[in-house]
Amino acid sequence: MASASVIDVGGLQAGRRSLFARLRGGLQGSEYAWALAFCVPYVGVFIAFVVFPVIYGLWLGHSPALYVELMNDPIYQQTVVNTILYLVIGVNLKMFLALLLSGFFMRKSWWAKGLLMVYVLPWAVPALPTFISIHWMLNTEWGLINNVIWDTFHADGPGWLDTSRWLALGSVIVTYIWKNMPFWTVILLAGRMAIPQELYEAAEVDGATGLRRFVHVSFPLMANLYLVCTLLSTIFTLGDFNTAYFISGGGPALSTHVLATLGIRDAFEIARPQLGVAAVLSALPLMIPLVILLMHKLRTSEVQL
């Protein structure tokens, strides 16, 4: 009996310890306190500046009447079309060009390496100065682009930003590509460099060169990376405020807003924060699937190269 009780007590203690150990992940007393303390600043930042604004935002935009108002607003309808065009054309064209250029920058020659240093400048230079510069380049009367058109063809260039919605939106998309393409080229270049050289050699022995090498070797190996990059870029672009704001400013006649700029305009220029939040929240049907997909992709699949 005595021995049995000892065993019982021992079993109980062991059970308790393992329960605590499980809760603490195997860390003991003071160590656990340290581990917790190390997390406190981040948890604080996350609750105060992410969780709280998100809940506050959802509360601000909770009234269904706001969405009815938005749906009936022609400016909002145009904005949705602009946002979709911006995402579909801007992101995909940029990623495709970046994929091609990453192949170009695989060249071993000295000038290609030097060019890469120059080519990444748009990414290194802060956004605002270059956007203001591009805004001035697109000026109808005195901008660099129309000056070049005048000097070479002796013809007046179009009013890029203040006559046509499509020219202005096109300018925004081209600027967006200019600014963001180098970054993704560098990412895809790193992906290409990670492909073992032996694979290419084997493919060459089998007679695959040029385009066939790309279709059958490079692209299958980079497809997952390309997909993850495209999805990530889509979500970043959805939140892009600066490009549209500084290139077209939503003009002419509020026809080139995207959701990110329209939300800010509604909230601060016409002083209706609830409406602004609703405009931003109306992107959730697109955002939620993207976020879920990306969380899954980024967490589970180490991109295999």
Partner 1 sequence: MSAVTADRLPKKPNYRGRRIIGEALAISLGVILAIWTLAPIYNMVMVALESHNDVFSTSIWPTDPSPYSFWIVFTEGYWYLEYFWHQYANSIYIGFWTVFLTLWIGSMVSYSIGRMRIKHGWLLTNAALLTYLVPASFLAIPFYRMMQSYGLGNNVWSIIAVEVTFATPYAIFIFQQYGRSIPLELDEAARIDGASPLQVYFRVYLPLMAPALVAVGTYALLLAWNEYLYQFLLLSNKRSMTVPVALAQFLNSDESPWNYMMATSIVYAVPPVIIYYLFRGRMTAGLTMGGVKG
Residue 270 identity = I
Query: Distance between CA atoms of 122 and 231, rounded to whole angstroms?
Result: 22
State the minimum distance, in angstroms, from the CB of residue 28 to partner 1. 11
Residue with smaller CB distance to partner 1, 6 or 297? 297
Residue with smaller CB distance to partner 1, 5 or 210? 210
Residue with smaller CB distance to partner 1, 169 or 231? 231
Going by C-beta distance under 8 Å and a sequence separation of 6 or more, which residues neighbour residue 173? Answer: 85, 86, 89, 90, 93
Residue with smaller CB distance to partner 1, 78 or 265? 265
Residue with smaller CB distance to partner 1, 11 or 26? 26
DSSP letter string over the chain? Answer: -HHHHHHHHHHHHHHHHHHHHHHHTT--HHHHHHHHHHHHHHHHHHIIIIIHHHHHHHHHT--HHHHHHHHT-HHHHHHHHHHHHIIIIIIHHHHHHHHHHHHHTT--SHHHHHHHHHHTHHHHS-HHHHHHHHHHHT-TTT-HHHHHHHHHH-SPPP-TTTT-HHHHHHHHHHHHHHHHHHHHHHHHHHHHHTS-HHHHHHHHHTT--HHHHIIIIIHHHHHHHHHHHHHHHHHHHHT--HHHHHHTTT-STT-S--HHHHHHIIIIIS--HHHHHHHHHTTHHHHHHHHHHHHHHHHH-PPP-
State the minimum distance, in angstroms, from the CB of residue 2 to partner 1. 37
State the minimum distance, in angstroms, from the CB of residue 187 to partner 1. 6
Query: Distance between CA atoms of 257 and 280, rounded to whole angstroms?
Result: 12
Residue with smaller CB distance to partner 1, 89 or 294? 294
Query: Distance between CA atoms of 302 and 148, rounded to whole angstroms?
Result: 48
Residue with smaller CB distance to partner 1, 6 or 23? 23
Residue with smaller CB distance to partner 1, 3 or 141? 141
State the minimum distance, in angstroms, from the CB of residue 82 to partner 1. 15
State the minimum distance, in angstroms, from the CB of residue 9 to partner 1. 26
In the structure encoding, which two tokens stand for residue 178, read together?
Answer: 């200019």
